């Protein structure tokens, strides 16, 4: 009887450990997503306060809870969309955005973004829809990842393709 009691206990311990490991991995992924978004935020000027909800220092540490312009997959709790168009942001794109492994949509059109498109964004899925139109980006035009198909819009960046 004692041996029979150990099997359910062993199974219970296994399930508890496996669940803890999965939760820890999911939390690490979400932390990485938050870090990528905060790297973008630190580099941008936001005179109209469009990103004021991106404030971990105020206790709002989960980008999937009440961060404006961010959409997450509710099951995986990962950032899937960043849509921040027409809000007067200026500054460079962060290379950290390339770490958003579940991103399906990156739309930052009609702002005043400057500088080159970071090569790290080539690592985004080729299914990611990217709209960086109507900014002031410069430098080489990426050709890999999401930039190799029609889902990307880089129109009206007059210095794109030229030197920065």
Could you tell me the residue ranges of all domains in the chain? 2-160
Q: Supply the pLDDT for residue 23.
A: 39
List strands edge to edge, sheet with 70-73: 70-73, 78-83, 105-107, 129-131, 152-153
Q: Supply the pLDDT for residue 12.
A: 45
Pairing of strands 112-116, 136-139: parallel
Q: Supply the pLDDT for residue 150.
A: 72
Q: Supply the pLDDT for residue 113.
A: 98
Query: What is the enclosing helix (H) or strand (E) of 18?
Result: helix 2-43
pLDDT digits (tens, 9 = 90+) for 62-110: 999 889 999 999 898 999 999 999 999 999 999 999 999 999 999 999 9
Nearest to 78 by CA among 68, 67, 64, 65: 64
CATH number of 2-160: 3.80.10.10
Q: Supply the pLDDT for residue 64.
A: 94
Q: Supply the pLDDT for residue 5.
A: 53
Structure tokens, 117: 């498109």
Query: What is the enclosing helix (H) or strand (E) of 84?
Result: none
Report the predicted TM-score, pTM, of the whole model to 2 decimal places.
Answer: 0.82
Q: List the chain residues with pLDDT less than 50.
A: 11-26
């Amino acid at each position: 009887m004692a041996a029979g009691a150990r099997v359910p206990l062993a199974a219970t311990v296994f399930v508890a450990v496996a669940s803890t490991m999965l939760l820890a991995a999911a939390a690490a992924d979400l932390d990485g997503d938050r870090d990528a978004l905060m790297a973008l935020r630190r580099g941008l000027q936001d005179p109209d306060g469009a990103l004021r909800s991106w404030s971990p220092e105020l206790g709002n540490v989960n980008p999937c809870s009440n961060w404006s312009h961010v959409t997450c997959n509710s099951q995986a709790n990962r950032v899937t969309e960043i849509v921040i168009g027409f809000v007067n942001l200026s500054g460079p794109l962060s290379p950290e955005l390339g770490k958003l492994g579940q991103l399906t949509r990156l739309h930052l059109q009609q702002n005043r973004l400057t500088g080159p498109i970071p090569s790290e964004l080539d690592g985004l899925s080729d299914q990611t829809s990217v709209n960086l139109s109507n900014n002031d980006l410069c430098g080489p035009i990426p050709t890999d990842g999401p930039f190799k198909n029609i889902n990307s819009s880089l129109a009206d960046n007059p210095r794109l393709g030229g030197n920065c």
